[in-house]
Chain A
């Protein structure tokens, strides 16, 4: 237990350093833990996106340059917050404002599951991807100081290890920077990184739901997410990147739910958080494309014209997200490493997909409705989202469209897999769903809480 104190302090310092960068970029000083969470993810995302160009520019010194940037962020954060006054009341928005039995009842599962996750994460070693992919990328980054086009000499000989070079960098970067601060990379000491992301996930979900439903609904949504086995146990505790991906998506959702952050400015948090989403897992890029497509569709089919926003004012957002997208494409081209997990998209692939369609639908449906994995979570989310898609407008409609599209897109990828359908779905689908579980929880909370909350308040 004592061995983990150093890495925990290092991870905490890096969190502050990332937050300092995030605050500087968005020009918004954190007044609450939710603000701090979003600033941390923005700073981390930008550093991760910058790692590839930094590797080209500085070679083996790239990690040192990134550590320097995080150090500067750390100093800027403290100077800004010590010179200004930290809003303690604002920061405490995270805690229940007064002791209401219902709020306590809803908050209790969140707190219990956070403790359970912490114990599991510290107690168990890394599981397959946590070790072979994510921590390995961090380990190599720690030793080499930069990204390389090949994992190591002859890494493609066995185990398809070569494809790891294509994976995005936020988690490995965090692990490598933490190791630089402690002086050595120990695989069993990367746990604090995941502790931070688990807290971040709960905070992001809480904030997103609070903006849409209020404080009690926020605890309901955060408990829903925390109680999901894919989020708080198993591979999430074993160092996989799906839970951190969910954390960044939750924070992006919280920012998007804030009308102030939907302003068309390059300092708005939403586009920077979209960049962060693209730096955790490869699927992040796909999710950003889905989110933008659904936003455009909802805006174009808006029933209330007064909410319609002029698209051309979003040029700064397009610039930020487009730059990150371009960097990702160039990085993949530079690696020149074909991932044999999916077939090349051509006419034959689509005909093959057509034949696999019934099998994919069956396999994905079984996972979605598996009571041991998800209970009735996804069935309820999809039912509520379908209703909202028809009856709601604006942000709630986008939320429903986004969650439905996520489930469909994540199912559709298996049409183009090179693996047998049943095997690939059983290995990956549940983890893909975990990435968008906060979106599902907030959708469900909005759908249930508004009518229930209104009735409850009316009875009071």
Chain B
């Protein structure tokens, strides 16, 4: 079918406008904070103002007597509750399980980070709760804050005394490669070394977290409304591990969610609190995070300190790579925190290159800071940043082109499937093609002329290249189980065909900005040949969707979409049986096209609606062979990750007098495999680029040595804004479809945030070197004006 015709029908490949935007853009979205249940109480959390301290006493007597106060809760009210669980257990270099502290709902005995909840006032109004909170008297003996990761593992104060160490785990990957890697370094013709920091970030979704707990006394039914990317996972973790509520008595609803970027994957104390408090008080309880609270309670991202080294032979071939990383876990283990610096990071250290030997060491460390967990890209941006900075530095040291050095060491198009030395097998890819595309898009040939023009205005222009690989669609459950995941990573879908032919799809994925209601409908529309307007996508409620693992890691289309394809194929197979009966033909001869069943070689036909009606009004129906109805569920567990890849080019102008960096051009050539909705894919790339460039130039979560958060509001935490960016040039035409999922899709949600930080920093370095500041080998992110200026002064 010609592409235009596909686009008109709204199937796969059409840039259909997002149907959900009608309600989002007109203020009619229904977010968790819009949910108000009759008789609802309001919770206000009293949080630690110190990073580390012993709780001496809590006196809530005066507060409990204040107007409107229902109850002041402390840890004593949760003595029966379990620890907020960690969903991934990492085993260290010596075969020892990671250290795993208790994570109580409310602080027990000690506070471990600014923002750690100590007590909660629940009252008739939020103002009453806040007034009463000021009357709660809490005495805390402040302890020295554990802040520096290297010092923390060397000894001294402990975040968790009962663990005996601040070192959560010491992970080596691949441990068996270690000796061979050392040997390759000993033989290397050249070794390039970089020490760098991947800056700590705050996710900052537009919608802060909210949780509303409800309890129905006469049925024993608990309901939690929450801002979550994966309501089923919350139900499992909170129900089974924290509050001991069986699944059939616990419903978790994540309605419209205004962005997550990873920070809404995790199970948070506030969710368990409102659920249990509603049970205790027999009234609904609501908590809405303030923006200030979000800074000290939402899981942070990144925060790695790394030394990385590349060995090359005399012909500039990469012969070995080794890295030593300290990864900040914060004060407690957030739900997937241990997986981020390990399996989502070490497995990507090959990048796009055929480096034969790799060894990755990661020391995960407890500190008196907010827990750190997955944030857009999760582990892969950290891997890509190190590697792509290092390759650029190697090219500079060797005096060769960063383009040529990459091309020479790329895995070649004929080498797929490619087994890397860090466990994973890349199924497809063509890195030469994406780099060629980038060179064309970014007009690399015209760069020198642009640089000269910038120079005439007193500006230093630089070009930065980065190539990335990522692993999405996480992943076969049996594999992740071996790697320490305490959950499966399949996805689910139920396709319910209604009697008159319209379709309701219940998906285990969760949309919090990605546009699933549009794209998922496009896929089903394309498969059956009915208009997408006849298809509704339902997600976010454990009471009506099959158990799914939710949305993160760019997995929704690759895994959730595949489950939906599987379920839809079951529907089509059954519908063909019904059509065969109706047309008195053999099932094998039935064809479905554009919503019409035909018998091959005849002019017989039945419409989609003829068949769906027959399924629900089975007067003329093969009841002896076939059940009535048309509803199917499928679970899909992928056989591998998917591996999107791409080439990114950033062009900056640096003001040598002030150090200010302006991104003047940015091009992204991505290989996402097949694309369902190009417009939404471009939007995802734009968003990812904004966050990645934001990390590179603006965003920085900073604590002082006492564990006070210095960047605790937008006055000091620099969020990227539209005027910080040029118009992005994005392309996804260099597609090598994924070989192991039915749609051939790879995922596009995180790419922008993964590939852009090294491209930006490489561009800044290029600009400085062109300006004569050749002593600068690296600038840590964010490359703020003051940092760039300071680097130029040395």
A and B from one complex: no
Q: Which B positions have Cβ atoms within 8 angstroms of A?
A: none
Q: Which A positions have Cβ atoms within 8 angstroms of B?
A: none
